[in-house]
Chains A and B, each alone.
Chain A
């Protein structure tokens, strides 16, 4: 059974810091890996998607990497801002493409 773990569970940083969120998964047979953002009381917003054959994806100040063989992904946020405060969720899509399995998330707080 696929399990997705995110470390740390919570993170507080001052504005301007670069930071890394970690995600690990137990079964390397994945279709893709996705990072989402969730604001309190809201739904999820897709940030980045990395296909299983890719190593990384970038969008603005966000960069996500994937090492499928070791079952790890990282989300790098450059020059953090208070508006980045949210919960970040990592999810892997099974090879059949029918189920996203989520980690429990990392709650990020960026202070000004």
Chain B
């Protein structure tokens, strides 16, 4: 099915470990995003990309890095995981005109 695919779906990390979350979309969307969703805080934008090779900071970028080497992929990295990064992470993509927002099913990350 066309859409946004996130891997992995679940992960438990120890404090200080690193990991990369992968997002892939097959809709030829220009824009891609990473959000985190926390109880009582709603969805908050971490980083986004408006095209291959570009990235920009969102509302809560600290502790995360991203890369968009290919148009269809957007990677989110945690270099040294902290308990405060325990959250559900959603990737999304859209057309340049703001239409077609499509979200992945999420990655539930726990940092202990």
Contacts and interface: CB of A to CB of B under 8 A. Distances in A.
A102 interface: yes
B101 A42 contact: no
Contact of B90 (A31, A43, A97, A104): A43
A34 B92 CA distance: 14
B98 A89 contact: no
| Chain B, interface residues (CB within 8 Å), range | 20 to 34
Contacts of A101: 45
Contacts of B104: 43
Contact of A42 (B58, B59, B100, B105): B105
Nearest to B56: A98
B21 to A, nearest CB: 14
Given A97-B98, A98-B56, A104-B40, A42 B48 contact: no
Contacts of A41: 106
A99 B42 contact: no
Q: Kindly name the residue among B44, B59, B101 whose own CB sees the greatest number of chain A CB atoms within 10 A.
A: B101
Nearest to A4: B42
A34 B100 CA distance: 11
Interface string A28-51: 000110101000011111100100
Interface of B: 4, 31, 33, 35, 40-45, 48, 50, 56, 58-59, 90, 92, 96-106
B106 A42 contact: yes
Given A97-B96, A97-B97, A100-B45, A44 B58 contact: no
B45 to A, nearest CB: 5
A102 B101 contact: no
A44 B106 CA distance: 9
Contacts of A77: none
Given A43-B104, A49-B101, A104-B40, 5 more contacts: A31-B98, A34-B101, A91-B43, A99-B59, A105-B42
Interface string A77-110: 0000000000001010100011111111100000
Given A98-B56, A105-B42, A49 B99 contact: yes
